[in-house]
Amino acid sequence: MKLLMTALVLVLSGCAQLMNGQSQPVIVKDANLHIMYTTCNGAAEGWDTCATKAAKTCTNGYTVLEKAENANGGFRSLTFQCQK
Amino acid sequence: MARGYNRLPLAAALLAAASSANAGISIPAGDWTLDIGGVVNAFYTSTKTSGSPASSNIGTGLLPNVLAVSGTTRQNDLDVTFVIAIDPGGYTNTGLGTALGQGAQENRQAFFTFGDKSWGTVKIGKDLGVFASDAILNDMTLLGVGDGGKGIGGSNATTTLGGIGGGYIYADWKEQIAYTTPNMNGFSATVAVTQAYNAVSFTNWNGAASAAAVALGQATGSYSASTGGSEPAFEGKISYDFAADAAKGHVWASGYSQKIQNILVQATTASAGSTTANVADIGATVNVAGFGLTGYYYNGQGVGIVSMLNSGLSQTGKKRDSDGGYVQATYVLPTATKIGVAYGESKLDADSTDVTFKGTKNERVTVGAYHPLTKHVNLVAEYNSEKTQATGSPETTTNTVSLGGILFF
Mean pLDDT calculated for residue range A4-23: 74
Is A34 close to B3, i.e. CB distance below 8 A? yes
Is A44 close to B17, i.e. CB distance below 8 A? no
- Residue B135 falls within a domain, yes or no? yes
- Tell me the chain B residues in contact with residue A54 when contact means C-beta distances shorter than 8 Å: none
Other beta carbons within 10 Å of B23: 21
- Residue B382 falls within a domain, yes or no? yes
- Residue A63 falls within a domain, yes or no? yes
Window 17-56 of A: residues touching B by CB (8 A cutoff) are 18-28, 31, 34, 36-39, 41-49, 51-53, 55-56
What are the tens digits of pLDDT across the range A15-58?
776 778 888 999 999 999 999 999 999 999 999 899 999 999 99
ipTM of the complex: 0.84
Q: What percent of chain B has pLDDT over 90?
A: 71
Nearest to B370 among A18, A43, A47 (CB): A43
Give the pLDDT confidence score for residue B6 in this predicted structure: 52
Q: Which of the residues in chain B have pLDDT under 70?
A: 1-24, 93-95, 149-154, 156, 203-207
Mean model confidence pLDDT for chain B: 89
- Residue B271 falls within a domain, yes or no? yes
- Residue A15 falls within a domain, yes or no? no
Q: How many domains does chain B contain in total?
A: 1
Cβ pairs A/B, distance under 8 A = 162
Banded model confidence at residue A12, pLDDT cuts 50, 70, 90: low
Q: How many domains does chain A contain in total?
A: 1
Distance linking the first and last C-alpha atoms of chain B:
33
- The C-alpha atoms of residue B125 and residue B131 are separated, in whole angstroms, by 16
Is A45 close to B287, i.e. CB distance below 8 A? no
Give the pLDDT confidence score for residue B192 in this predicted structure: 98
Give the pLDDT confidence score for residue A74 in this predicted structure: 83
Is A43 close to B140, i.e. CB distance below 8 A? yes
Shortest CA gap B186–chain A (Å): 10
Nearest to A47 among B6, B9, B248 (CB): B248
Nearest to B142 among A21, A64, A74 (CB): A74
- Residue A5 falls within a domain, yes or no? no
Shortest CA gap B46–chain A (Å): 21
- Residue A48 falls within a domain, yes or no? yes
* Per-residue buried b or exposed e for A23-34, using 16+ beta carbons within 10 Å of the residue's own CB: bbbbbbbeeeeb
Is A44 close to B378, i.e. CB distance below 8 A? yes
Domain of residue B175, CATH code: 2.40.160.10
Shortest CA gap A5–chain B (Å): 25
Give residue A62's domain range: 23-82
- Residue A59 falls within a domain, yes or no? yes
- Residue B53 falls within a domain, yes or no? yes
- Residue B5 falls within a domain, yes or no? no
- The C-alpha atoms of residue B283 and residue B264 are separated, in whole angstroms, by 35
- Residue B60 falls within a domain, yes or no? yes
- The C-alpha atoms of residue A69 and residue B106 are separated, in whole angstroms, by 20
What are the tens digits of pLDDT across the range B311-323?
999 989 999 999 9
Give the pLDDT confidence score for residue B91 in this predicted structure: 80
Give residue B327's domain range: 25-408
